[in-house]
Amino acid sequence: MSAFTFATRLWEHAGQGAWHFVTLPDDTSDEIADLTAGVSRGFGSVRVRVTVGGTTWQTSLFPDTKAGAYVLPVKKAVRAAEGLAAGDLVEVTLSIAEH
C-alpha cells in the first residue's frame, strides 16, 4: 500500500495525560478514509506504520470529527528520541498496516 509523507505541527491535547498528536492533512485523511472504507477498527481507528526521523513504530490513527481529519498520537518515547515538543514541525511518513 502507498506511503504518505507530510509535515505538520505537533500539538498537546488539553486534557489529562499529556497526549501529543499531529493532525493529518485533509487530502491525506480523505485518501486514507477511502482506502480503508469498511475495514476500520474500534472508534474508526486505522492501524498504521509510522516513521518520524529515525524512529519507526506501529500505532493507530483516529478520526477527529472536529478537525474533519485523522489524528496520529506521538508517544513520549518517540518525542524524546527525536527531540520533539509541542509546536514543532514534524515530518511524518506512514503507511496503512496489514489487516
Query: What is the C-alpha to C-alpha distance for residues 55 and 76, in angstroms, rounded to an integer?
Result: 12
User: For residue 18, what is the domain's CATH number?
Assistant: 2.40.30.100
Residue 6's pLDDT is 97
Instruction: Break the chain down into helix, strand, coil percent, rounded to 5.
Output: 20, 45, 35
Output the nine-digit C-alpha cell for 65: 470529527
Distance CA(10)–CA(49), nearest Å, equals 18
pLDDT at 11: 96
Show pLDDT as tens, one digit a residue, over the chain (99 residues).
Answer: 679 999 999 999 987 778 999 999 999 999 999 988 876 566 678 999 999 999 999 999 999 999 899 999 999 999 999 999 999 999 999 999 875
Whole-number Å distance between alpha carbons of 46 and 96 = 7
Looking at the structure of the chain, the number of domains it has is 1
pLDDT of residue 99: 54
- pLDDT score, position 37: 81
Q: What is the pTM of this model?
A: 0.88
Structural domain range at position 11: 3-96
